[in-house]
Amino acid sequence: MSKLMIQGTASSVGKSVLVAALCRIFTQDGFKVVPFKSQNMSLNSYITLTGKEMGRAQVLQAYACGLEPEFYMNPILLKPTSDKKSQVIVNGNVYGNFTAMEYHNMKSMFKDMIKEQFEDLERKFDIVVIEGAGSPAEINLRDKDIVNMGMAEIANAPVLIVGDIDKGGVFASLAGTMLLLNNEERKRVKGTIINKFRGDVEILKPGLTMLEDIIHIPCLGVVPYFRLMLEDEDGAIEFSKKVTAPIDIAVIKLPHISNFTDIDPLKNEKDVSIRFIESKEEFGNPDILIIPGSKNTIGDLIALRKTGLEDLIKEYSNIGNIIGICGGYQMLGRWIKDPYGVETDEKEIEGMDLLDIGTVFNEEKTTTRIEAETIGLKGNMKVYGYEIHMGICEYGDKAKKLFEIVDKNGEKANYPDGTVNEKGNIMGTYIHGIFDGTEFREYILNNIRSKKGLPLRRSDIYESLRDKELNKLADIVRNSLDMKRIYKIIGREFV
């Protein structure tokens, strides 16, 4: 059994993508590979086939291994609900809402569970590729660490440390990280990786030699800056504000925006531009406005009121096209109630009153993988995706159902989801991944193309595109790293 851990000098240095790349490389080379991240903090989550919740980064890594994503690849998921509080997901289920200090004091409780799960993966797979979180040099968190060097100790894993040169200061960050590790932790570090490099590597080489002389750890490669159509890390996403293509899709960048990966399939359409807006001045005249998911729907709705964006959305609803997803869907309704204080202390708030629904937050979370068919639009289109919500919608007399759920976690089902107004220009749904399938995506975009006199297009299958992009990623990273040395580090023969 082999294992390798990727840690970073900071958040958003590229750990998730490099883990995905190594997962695909090892898999291409004939090994049975699995990703693992003991603790992930992310508002982008996913529901497995068994209805368990996990972080999206490990989903991409699972696909890189040719595996169906499973919750044990990410046993602890933290979903921030405010600056000081998070919902804690353990083994795919809600464990509770805790402050940062409360959770910090709880972490040691999970060590045995994490150890058992990791050892089980060791028995079942040839190689486990482990991802750290943030930086291992957070010395204030060392005593209860379960995700960086604490995880490396649990797994007895060799560590590679990644630094992001694009932001500047990569030599100082790598050297500083090594300085703040204790002797036992330093012994685990077998190499460094410079990520996101632009320019001539020859100019960089003297610096690599000097860094090796300082920290006595070899640099195993320099990965160039690249752009691929793959999901972004939470902190690494570029929230573009420019219109760059004929179809202008604007997405409200909510303060607690979640599951913005729902938008990714739209980014892959050649004539579509995605931009994120936070103020009235940025609104413009989009062809489609998307209000995405939120981890604090009531708080984000209040924020939209304070910025004046709600008034603009209501004005735009008379002439434009609006799609609300999960929290965005709830905001479009007449009211939202939170009797149990699931999100905030606000017990009830008025919605935008653009769809005839109301929402009540429940104490239990709905987490399902679903297949559905359209019932409120022309034609019978199939969609698939997943639900993650604690709100339950109540339909008003004027509400027109949008979808019929026909499969729930692999079993036949028959219940409605979503709403569309009579005019057909405002719709909302709880289904995340709604644009992953080609039929609904084509329907929405071709309606816009038809109105604008643009050529109609067929949409590419998103999963096929993702797989091709993962192979491109593997090629870039394989050609950038000393794979022979990496195989030696994990005790495997170089392929």
Catalytic residue numbers, as ranges: 326, 432
Q: Which residue has the tokens 């202008």?
A: 248
Residue 344 tokens, joined: 């905030």
Handedness of CA 293, 299, 303, 309 (dihedral sign): positive
Cβ neighbours of residue 80 closer than 8 Å, sequence gap 6 or more: 41, 43, 86, 256, 295
Output the six-digit token pair for 243.
């219109």
Residues written for the chain: 495
DSSP 8-state class, residue 263: G
266 within 8 A of 286, measured Cβ to Cβ: no
Residue carrying the six token digits 């003991």: 38
- Could you tell me whether strands 189-197 and 159-164 are parallel, antiparallel, or unpaired per DSSP bridges? parallel
Separation of CA 449 from chain center: 29
The two three-digit tokens of residue 445, written as one number: 């975009």
| Residue 287: strand, helix, or coil | coil
**Alpha carbons 115 and 55: distance in angstroms, whole number:** 19
The phi, psi pair for 415, rounded to 5°, reads: -150, 155
Residue 352 CA to residue 297 CA, distance in Å, equals 12
Count the neighbouring beta carbons within 10 Å of the beta carbon of residue 270.
9
Cα angle, residue 433 at apex, residues 42 and 280 outer, rounded to 5°: 70
Whether residue 407 contacts residue 231, with contact meaning beta carbons closer than 8 Å, is answered with no
Nearest-angstrom CA–CA distance, 148 and 267: 33
Helix (H, G, I), strand (E, B) or coil at 246: coil
